[in-house]
Amino acid sequence: MLSKYNVRDNEKIISNIVKVYPHMIKIVIYHNSYKIYFGVEKNRDDSVETKVSKISQKINDNRSLRRTKTLVKDIILCNHFDYFCTFTFDKRKHNRYDVDHCRHVMHMWLHRQREKSPDLKYLVVPELHKDGALHFHSLFKNYNGYLKPLKIKTKSGRDMYNISNWRAGKISSAVPITDNPEAVANYVLKQYLIKDMPLFSCKKRYWCSQNLKRPQTTVNGVEEFGLGKIVRNSKPDYINDNYEIQYHASRGSKINSKELMLDLPF
């Protein structure tokens, strides 16, 4: 365990992280505390100064993907979305192989929806067809546009609707979400957030509205919130050599810890 008396001004010791969601609290306890550096840190020979940020080395693709999964999962768990939607692009109207072009078309369409849906919340992730053409999957909340009932249903028997004012492609479907947030998050992470997924500009794997809720995240929150007794008296939902995770449902709420653990690490 690192001593707090060995900490310099540009260092921070992390022993645990507490995330507060609308329906639960997630606690990550590290078995060995670690340091985060800020500002400028001298290297071992004290001759060359190296700029060091919170992440001291360049993020590799695997780490970046894990971070994306964490951010997307946090968004889904904090916002109970109403619909799972799919948007395609007509090859006669658009270059379906240009990620940034398709994103612009989708962005402009979302902007126009504000007239009827001022509180619209959305999360969008891209996916490729087998031939490399692009389509989007999205989670919507507070969408007030017209949804035309379709005669077909999903494989699980759920109703499907057509998003009538989407004219960039032939297919635009919306399926009401009835699953708990844990199941929705797990589905999106496993189905769409994969290594070979297309990237938007700036290498982003998703984009979302600015009005989405996020969990309240506190470094060393166990001490700050006085959660030590709860942690000591609870069994971890997950544990490995480096850390353990505990989930605690808020009063009146229920969580499915098994579904929460289906995609690790967080």
17 pLDDT more than 80: yes
Instruction: Name 43's Cβ contacts closer than 8 Å, sequence gap at least 6.
Output: 49, 50
Instruction: Name 209's Cβ contacts closer than 8 Å, sequence gap at least 6.
Output: 110, 120, 121, 122, 123
Q: Which candidate, 253, 77, 106, places its Cα nearest to that of 172?
A: 106
- For residues 266 and 70, the answer to whether their CB atoms sit within 8 Å is yes
Residue, of 176 and 33, whose pLDDT is higher: 176
C-alpha to C-alpha distance for 196 and 217, rounded to whole angstroms: 30
The SS3 of residue 207 is: strand
C-alpha to C-alpha distance for 178 and 201, rounded to whole angstroms: 33
Quote the tokens at residue 224: 């700050």
Give the pLDDT confidence of 63-101 residue by residue, as tens digits.
788 888 999 999 999 999 999 999 999 999 999 999 889
262 pLDDT more than 70: no
pTM passes above 0.95? no
- For residues 165 and 85, the answer to whether their CB atoms sit within 8 Å is no
C-alpha to C-alpha distance for 151 and 112, rounded to whole angstroms: 28
Instruction: Name 242's Cβ contacts closer than 8 Å, sequence gap at least 6.
Output: 30, 31, 32
Of the pLDDT bands very low, low, confident and very high (cuts 50, 70, 90), residue 33 is confident
48 pLDDT more than 70: no
Quote the tokens at residue 43: 């290297």
Which helix (DSSP H) or strand (DSSP E) does residue 25 occupy? strand 24-37
Residue, of 38 and 233, whose pLDDT is higher: 233
All CATH 3.30.70.1910 domain ranges in the chain, comma separated: 80-208
Cβ burial of 258 (10 Å; 0-12, 13-18, 19+) is exposed
Q: What is the structure's pLDDT at 219?
A: 94
Q: What is the structure's pLDDT at 77?
A: 95
Give the pLDDT confidence of 93-124 residue by residue, as tens digits.
999 999 889 999 999 999 999 999 999 999 99
Give the pLDDT confidence of 199-256 residue by residue, as tens digits.
776 668 899 999 999 999 999 999 999 999 999 999 999 999 999 999 999 887 777 7
Tell whether domain 80-208 is in CATH 3.40.50.620: no
Q: What is the structure's pLDDT at 201?
A: 65
**Which of 9-13, 14-18, 137-141, 154-158 shows the lowest mean pLDDT across its residues?**
9-13
Quote the tokens at residue 99: 């990620």
List, in sequence order, every residue forming a beta bridge with 137; answer none if it has no partner: 86, 125
Cβ burial of 260 (10 Å; 0-12, 13-18, 19+) is buried
Q: Which candidate, 136, 119, 126, places its Cα nearest to that of 172?
A: 136
Give the pLDDT confidence of 143-197 residue by residue, as tens digits.
999 999 999 999 888 999 999 999 999 889 999 999 889 999 999 998 888 777 7
Q: What is the structure's pLDDT at 199?
A: 74
Cβ burial of 24 (10 Å; 0-12, 13-18, 19+) is buried
Quote the tokens at residue 195: 């290594």
- Going by their DSSP bridges, the two strands 121-128 and 207-208 should be labelled as antiparallel
Q: What is the structure's pLDDT at 9?
A: 59
Rounded to 10 deg, the angle between the 61-78 and 181-191 helix axes is 150
Question: For residue 36, what is the DSSP state?
Answer: E
Q: What is the structure's pLDDT at 52?
A: 43
